[in-house]
Structure 1
Amino acid sequence: MDISVEITLSPLQDNYEEAVIRFIKSLRASGLKVLENPLSTQVYGEYNKVMQVLQQEIRSSLENMEQGVFTIKVVKTDRSSYEPHF
């Protein structure tokens, strides 16, 4: 089953950019399809693979920052080719 995940990392610390960049780079290195915009990162792929990567990378990120919040939305389909029709 393919899924689409929208994820936002909000480190609650002054040097937040480093933590966000490190997280996105680790997702890119996973081999999954990853797209970024200024507000969130989207990850697309097979459910088990996506969740395995997210579990590992979220844990690693939390261990390497003082405090942080992850906001995650999961959709049961690959929406990577979506284009608005308006």
Structure 2
Amino acid sequence: MQISLELTLTPLQDNFEIHIINFIKKLRTSSFEVLENPLSTQIFGPYDEVMAFVTEEIKVAFGEMEHVLVYMKMVKSNRSSYEPHF
């Protein structure tokens, strides 16, 4: 099963930029398709592999910060090639 996952990491502390940058760099090292925009990062691929990878990277990020939020949206399909037709 393919999924599209959108993540937003929100550290609730000073010096937050480096934590966001490190998180995005780790996501980029994956074998999945990763798209970025100013508000979030999107990852596309097989459910089990994407979720295992993301779960581990969120755990690492949580270990590096005292207060942090992660917002996640998930769609059951790979929407990486989506183009609006309106």
Distance of 2:24 and 2:61 partners within structure 1: 10
Corresponding residue of 1:68 = 68
Amino acid at match of 2:33: K
Shift of 1:31: 1.1
Q: Give 1:43-58 correspondences, 5 Å limit.
A: 43-58=43-58
Name the % identity: 55
Shift of 1:14: 1.2
Q: Secondary structure at the match of 1:15?
A: coil
Q: Which blocks of at least 5 consecutive residues in structure 2 are unaligned?
A: none
TM-score between both structures, scaled by the size of structure 2: 0.97
What is the number of equivalent residue pairs in this alignment? Answer: 86
Corresponding residue of 1:40 = 40
TM-score between both structures, scaled by the size of structure 1: 0.97
Moved over 3 A (4+): none
Shift of 1:66: 1.9
Q: Which blocks of at least 5 consecutive residues in structure 1 are unaligned?
A: none
Q: Secondary structure at the match of 2:83?
A: coil
